Amino acid sequence: MLRFGVLGTGFVVDTFHMPSLRELNAQVVAVGSRRSEAFAKKWGIGKYYQGDSFLEQLCSDNEVDVVLVALPNFLHEKAVTRCAEEGKHVIVEKPLGRNSQEAERSLAAVERAGVLHGYAENQVFIPQIVRLRDFLNSGVLGDVVWVRSREAHSGPHSGWFWDRNLSGGGSLLDMGCHSVEVARKLFGIEPSQVLAWGELTVHRGKTEAEDNSVVLMKFGRGLGQAENSWTAKGGLDLRYEVYGTDGSAFVDVTRETGMRLFTTASDKVDYVVEKADIRGGWMYPVWREHELYGYLEEMRHFLTSMKAGENPKENLRDGLTVNRIIDAAYKSVRTGKWEPP
């Protein structure tokens, strides 16, 4: 059985990755972050590393076979490099790097070491997206002409997201990396040109990064369109639209949950949906978010592939490609022109 070490104890790990690993009966033997003791106790993890040396300690732990890297973006390259040097297989939370240069070095490190590597882009594993790809592959919708996505909420949980130097960017990188990768998978080809807009519209004084952005991508004669927002109230809004020559498809992940609920007893409301801004009025409760957003099937694929000694189909090469597309988008924001990835 593969033995997991987890680097990071933030919202994504606690809410999505750990429930997925537990449901799949994965063996998590160690966790590391600056403050990991309480997290280890909550999840029953035997070893925890914390303080300034947590990363080095976990990467050098001989009882760890695979490391899930879910640290802030500015630590991804360092963590991947150290894991590779220690012969550990790695799974890296999106985005792979703050830019394509970091992503290139991370990919080079794992390929040089010969370790297996997975790129944790959960949205390509969303059950509806997986089913939609099946329909596309069967020709039900004909040739894909337009893929439109929208991901929006009122802003990130952790403070480092708001620091452009630590995160690498704003909504364009944070959310755009999701929709760029899903568009790649739905079209089945690479984009040739990118046009983007990004602006700091609301969160002035809190960040210098763009809190709203739009990315257009040319896929042959088709178009990919991604809207990304850190300023939308009402909880996570995540949806995709696909238009083909013979049909169309709509995926609304967080609004068409099968339940709508209204309450004035806001003091009795616990968790409703990721990044909900209020606990009252009309709400769209979700359940099993780790499955709904694709984390469960993502981790199942990583486990199955790595147990078989095979590289996952979603790996750091995909992460590098996404970073290159996002870099082109940022260049386009500056130039106002279509840019090649």
Residue 93 has pLDDT above 70, yes or no: yes
Task: Quote the tokens at residue 44.
Answer: 């029953």
Predicted pLDDT at 121: 99
The Cα 336–Cα 151 span in angstroms is 23
Classified as helix, coil or strand, 169 is coil
Domains of the chain: 3-122+296-313 (3.40.50.720), 124-287+324-335 (3.30.360.10)
Query: Could you tell me the pTM of the whole model?
Result: 0.93
Predicted pLDDT at 285: 72
Residue-wise pLDDT for 140-167, tens only, equals 999 999 999 999 999 998 999 999 999 9
Residue 272 has pLDDT above 70, yes or no: no
Please report the beta strands in the chain, taking only residues with DSSP state E, as ranges in sequence order: 3-7, 27-32, 47-49, 66-69, 89-93, 117-120, 144-152, 193-199, 212-219, 222-229, 237-244, 248-252, 261-263, 281-283
Q: Higher-confidence residue: 197 or 287?
A: 197
Residue 274 has pLDDT above 70, yes or no: no
Residue-wise pLDDT for 29-71, tens only, equals 999 999 999 999 999 999 999 999 999 999 999 999 999 999 9
Residue 262 has pLDDT above 90, yes or no: no
Neighbouring CB atoms inside 10 A of 85's CB total: 14
Residue-wise pLDDT for 209-259, tens only, equals 999 999 999 999 999 999 999 999 988 999 999 999 999 999 999 887 766
| Angle subtended at Cα 12 by Cα 301 and Cα 217, rounded to the nearest 5 degrees | 70
What Rg value do the Cα atoms of the chain yield, rounded?
20
